[in-house]
Amino acid sequence: MELRERVNTAVKQAMKDKAADRLSTLRLINAAIKDRDIALRGTGEEGGVDDGQVLAILDKMVKQRRESAKTYEEGGRLDLAEREISEIGVIEEFLPKALSEDEIASAVDAAVTEVGADSIRDMGRVMGALKAQYTGQMDFGAVGPMVKERLAGN
């Protein structure tokens, strides 16, 4: 099932279950997808957002909420931090399973080989290959230093 359809099905189920917090988060996801649809219409692209773009949207939403939760915790607003963390849980339901450390290391090695990277100057190409294949499955902020270290070792 397409991601957008899965989100819409979850919205309907949350309405039936009267799960207000979950429904709120699901509506935020729908709004972000529709915003991207509108932005694409402005560029003349037809067909709207595909699953890859939806994954990128969801990944960005998780990253934003992690940063917000950290800020709230530092500011002593644990109630708001908990809300952000619960939203992350709802959003992550639609993301693919996160890769383990070993899987990430082998994915980095494969991407380095795939693009023929041999120096730190190729880092952008390696990260682009990883993002194209593993969006939503790894934290690219944490993977960047791994790629840098791997390329520096060549």
Domains of the chain, first to last: 3-92 (1.10.1510.10), 101-152 (1.10.10.410)
Q: Which two tokens stand for residue 50?
A: 């595909």
- Cα 136 → chain centroid: 4
pLDDT digits (tens, 9 = 90+) for 32-74: 999 998 888 877 766 678 888 888 899 899 989 999 999 999 9
pLDDT digits (tens, 9 = 90+) for 117-148: 888 888 889 898 888 888 778 888 888 888 88
Which amino acid is located at 24 in the chain? S
Q: Which two tokens stand for residue 26?
A: 């699901």
pTM exceeding the 0.85 threshold for the entire prediction: no
Tell me how many degrees the CA angle 104-105-110 measures, rounded to the nearest 5: 95
56 close to 135: Cβ distance less than 8 angstroms: yes
